[in-house]
Amino acid sequence: MRKGFDNDKYLAMQSEHIRERIAKFDNKLYLEFGGKLYDDYHASRVLPGFEPDSKLRMLMQLADQVEIVIVISAEDIEKNKVRGDLGITYDSDLLRLKAIFESKNLYVGSVCITHFAGQYSAQMFQSRLEKMGVKVYRHYLIPGYPNNIPLIVSEQGYGHNEYIETTKPLVVVTAPGPGSGKMATCLSQLYHEHKRGVRAGYAKYETFPIWNLPLSHPVNLAYEAATADLNDVNMIDPYHLEAYGETTVNYNRDVEIFPVLRAMFMEIYGDCPYKSPTDMGVNMAGKCIVDDEACREASGQEIIRRYYQTLVNIARGKSKEEEAYKIELLMNNAGVTVKDRKVVPAALTRAEATGHTAAAMELPDGTLITGKTSELLGACSALLIKALKHLAGIDEDVLLITPNVIRPIQKLKVDYLGSRNPRLHMEEVLIALSSSSESNPLADLALRQLPNLRGSQVHTSRMLSAADEKIFQKLGVMLTSEAK
């Protein structure tokens, strides 16, 4: 894949810009981190060259100035809300994120439980954190939020929240997922800091939409596709246009909430340091694109992948049809169709020709490989073996795993574990290949090609089991499937 983004330039420019923003206030800035702080795979897909941990690495350059507050909603704890891409609950993800930050020598000062209204699960989670030595603060539901400004900016509103003790100039407020209350936490802290004589600042760090790219740029359209379930819409920032005569892009929720934020600033400080939602942002990603065409191509592919994932989610009862309609419109705006994803026609053609479930893979070098269901292997398992052979330079007719290795596994699955499908899933094939590598040098050679699959594209003619989907995810392969 062509590089479209200069990651080193981004790290340097972004950290310097945040330092400048800190200096504009009383050396105290609350920075709301939207999106994923550690593993931003969406950004790495639409901006080829962007590293998934870029935001974390940028913060590491500011390690001596930064403190992290992780926010989690008591309502999400109570509901056992799950992070879709990882399949773990928000409270588990909070512990995961804390461990990652601390492994990078970033200081996690505390956890803030928002929307607290006495939820039992939230109390238990707080107790668990405190036993681990973590400082925990509670922020409460405020009636009429966010519109009842006089109540919100008062002792009965933000004043009722517990003040989060912080020691560093830059306080990064992050969360396992959206809707956790990051912005409200930042603003509550501004209220409390003001009471203590500190004019603290607030800024927002959202990678998308990219404010200095056109509204119809595929990178921004891909963000709309990614948030189709949230009804986010990119739009021209009318406040920025009015204040500066400059066209910039923001998204509807930030534009809609800006008058409320401005009123809150006025209530706290007597003035507002920002004239627009764009002013609040600190994102420099748009200035680090070095190949616009590469980013356009990658973003078009991302929109197609989002479309297929939504169709699969609809079939599984996890999404609404309106989401697919919205992404269809975004595909039209980006000028792409499903046929622009090369593995789609390749998989469907193979399935039609053989009458069996089929799969196609495009390797990073552009090579197309197909596989179909057989007596011993599922379509993806067959595809995986063929791809590893190709990368290792092994002839397609060579058996890496002999039938006498596969059949005992099939017997275990069917006779003892109650499975109705005797064919081997991908994980089972990899275990069999690993076992064979002890005595078969070619199997070992094929196994060592697994890292080279990262960045490959796969499409299947039917939906996959969760087990096979997870293996593709672990291998860094981008998967789509027909919703059958």
CA 83 to chain centroid, in Å, comes to: 10
Pairing of strands 358-362, 368-372: antiparallel
Q: Would you kindly state where each structural domain of the chain is located, as residue ranges?
A: 7-288, 342-481
Query: Under DSSP, is residue 250 helix (H, G, I), strand (E, B) or coil?
Result: strand
3-state helix, strand, coil in the chain (%, to 5): 50, 15, 35
The number of beta carbons lying within 10 Å of the beta carbon of residue 338 is 15
CA 334 to chain centroid, in Å, comes to: 21
Give residue-wise pLDDT tens across range 393-425: 999 999 999 888 888 888 998 999 998 888 888
Distance between CA atoms of residues 288 and 296, nearest Å? 14
Let me know if the fold of 7-288 is the same as that of 342-481.
no
358-362, strands of its sheet edge to edge = 368-372, 358-362, 457-460, 478-481
- The angle, 0 to 180 degrees and rounded to 10, between the axes of the packed helices 466-475 and 426-436 is 60
Superfamily of domain 7-288: dip2346 domain like (3.10.630.10)
What are φ and ψ of residue 107, in 5° steps?
A: -85, 115
pTM above 0.75, yes or no: yes
Give residue-wise pLDDT tens across range 363-393: 999 999 999 998 889 999 999 999 999 999 9
Cβ contact 337:453 at 8 Å:
no
Token reading at 321: 């049809």
Run of H or E including 332: helix 321-334
Tens digit of pLDDT at every position of the chain (484 positions): 689 999 999 999 999 999 999 999 999 999 999 877 777 889 999 999 999 999 999 999 999 999 999 999 999 999 998 886 677 899 999 999 999 999 999 999 999 999 999 999 999 999 999 999 999 999 999 999 988 999 999 999 999 999 999 999 999 999 998 889 999 999 999 999 999 999 999 999 989 999 999 999 999 999 999 989 888 899 999 999 999 999 999 989 899 989 988 998 999 999 999 999 999 999 999 999 999 999 999 999 999 999 999 999 999 998 999 999 999 999 999 999 999 999 999 999 999 999 999 999 999 999 999 999 988 899 999 999 999 999 999 999 999 998 888 888 889 989 999 988 888 889 999 999 999 998 999 999 999 999 999 999 999 999 998 889 999 999 999 999 999 9
171: β partners: 30, 67
Cβ contact 408:428 at 8 Å:
no
Instruction: Identify the CATH number of the domain defined by range 342-481.
Output: 3.40.140.40
Token reading at 196: 């203590």
